[in-house]
């Protein structure tokens, strides 16, 4: 097993802005502690709707791919990522859309090809910890989010195997793989805070009809000091995030943190030895 004095982590996301809405506080925390953080963004987010009316301009719509890359670069700097890689696939859009039929989209990429692209990045950046999307995505089945999971596990297995993709760099064996998740407990706590403050909650019944995965959560990271970094990173995605959105910004930052100060993860695969509940993604890694 490889040993390094520098701790490294990698997060894998589908589109620009996903890195800011899922686990941004954790990456900011570890980055500030000296961990080298890599972001892999699988698509350019070309099919994302412009949700901020102030950005719904002809020049923005015509150059949405470039605009979203610029937004991601800004957000990644705010969060504290050291490196951003693209897998260079096109946004797949939603099922049965025209974009979903595009042969260049991520959903239609040959599995082996996409896995090899990810393996090459893993071998180059050598993360000890990888964070990706879960096996159960019943709450939101975007084709690109599903494909992130589809390529992550084969890449996790192949990266350290010298017989797999021998032309894609020297083998590297990551030690822990996590699924990022929005817990039911988080949604309930935020909903309760909206009610306590007599504000209209954006969490309708559909949120509570989704199957809960809370029983699978192994890891809770206290990110209470990083709520503003997460907010600033979200706002960097000016096309995708409406600054007046009650979902993202309906609660004052301090009240959101008071309600639920954690990022939640499921430790899916672990090569470091027995671990139960934990408060550190690097627990068990020297």
Nearest Cα residue to 253 out of 277, 220, 230, 283: 230
Written as tens digits, the pLDDT of the chain (286 aa) is: 343 469 999 999 999 999 999 999 999 999 999 999 999 999 999 998 999 999 999 999 999 999 999 999 999 999 999 999 999 999 998 888 888 988 999 999 999 999 999 999 999 999 999 999 999 888 788 999 999 999 999 999 999 999 999 999 999 999 999 999 999 999 999 999 999 999 999 999 999 988 899 999 999 999 999 999 999 999 999 999 999 999 999 999 899 999 999 999 999 999 998 887 899 999 999 7
161: left (phi over 0), alpha (psi -120 to 50) or beta: beta
Q: Are 147 and 132 in contact (CB under 8 A)?
A: no
Residue 190 lies inside a defined structural domain of this protein: no
Residue 96 lies inside a defined structural domain of this protein: yes
Residue 197 lies inside a defined structural domain of this protein: no
Determine if the pTM surpasses 0.75.
Answer: yes
Q: Are 103 and 149 in contact (CB under 8 A)?
A: no
Q: Which two tokens stand for residue 277?
A: 């509940």
The CATH number given to whatever domain includes residue 35 is: 3.40.50.10320
3-state secondary structure 102-113: CCCEHHHCCHHH
pLDDT at residue 4 in the model = 45
Burial class (CB in 10 A: 0-12, 13-18, 19+), 258: middle
Residue 188 lies inside a defined structural domain of this protein: no
Domain boundaries, position 144? 8-182+215-270
Residue 141 lies inside a defined structural domain of this protein: yes
* Beta pairing, strands 176-181 & 262-270: antiparallel
Residue 258 lies inside a defined structural domain of this protein: yes
Residue 75 lies inside a defined structural domain of this protein: yes
- CA 218 to each of CA 21, 179, 213, 264, 274: distance values in angstroms, whole numbers, following the listed order: 20, 10, 11, 8, 12
Tally of structural domains, the chain? 1
Residue 208 lies inside a defined structural domain of this protein: no
pLDDT at residue 260 in the model = 98
pLDDT at residue 5 in the model = 63
- CA 285 to each of CA 38, 129, 193, 280, 281: distance values in angstroms, whole numbers, following the listed order: 18, 9, 37, 10, 9
Q: Are 147 and 42 in contact (CB under 8 A)?
A: yes
* Beta pairing, strands 36-43 & 129-132: unpaired
Q: Which two tokens stand for residue 86?
A: 């693209």
């Amino acid at each position: 097993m490889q040993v390094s004095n520098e701790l490294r982590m990698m997060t894998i996301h589908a589109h620009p802005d996903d890195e800011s809405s899922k686990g941004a506080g954790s990456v900011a925390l570890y980055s500030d502690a000296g961990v080298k953080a890599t972001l892999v963004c699988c698509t350019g987010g070309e099919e994302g709707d412009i949700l901020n009316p102030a950005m719904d301009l002809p020049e923005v719509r015509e150059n949405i791919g470039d605009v979203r890359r610029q937004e991601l670069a800004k957000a990644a700097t705010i969060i504290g990522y050291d490196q951003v890689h693209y897998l260079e696939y096109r946004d797949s859009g939603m099922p049965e859309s025209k974009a979903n039929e595009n042969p260049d989209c991520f959903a239609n990429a040959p599995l082996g090809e996409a896995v090899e692209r990810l393996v090459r990045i893993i071998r180059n950046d050598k993360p000890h910890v990888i964070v990706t999307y879960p096996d159960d995505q019943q709450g939101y089945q975007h084709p690109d989010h599903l494909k992130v999971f589809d390529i992550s596990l084969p890449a996790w297995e192949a990266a350290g195997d010298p017989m797999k993709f021998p032309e894609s760099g020297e083998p590297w064996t990551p030690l822990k793989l996590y699924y990022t998740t929005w817990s039911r407990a988080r949604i309930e706590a935020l909903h309760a805070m909206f009610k306590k403050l007599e504000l209209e909650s954006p969490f309708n019944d559909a949120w509570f009809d989704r199957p809960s995965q809370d029983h699978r959560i192994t890891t809770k990271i206290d990110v209470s000091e990083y709520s503003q970094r997460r907010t600033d990173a979200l706002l960097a995605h000016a096309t995708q995030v409406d600054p007046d959105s009650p979902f993202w910004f309906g609660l004052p930052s301090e009240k959101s943190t008071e309600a639920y100060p954690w990022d939640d993860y499921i430790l899916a695969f672990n090569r470091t030895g027995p671990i139960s509940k934990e408060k550190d993604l690097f627990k068990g890694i020297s």
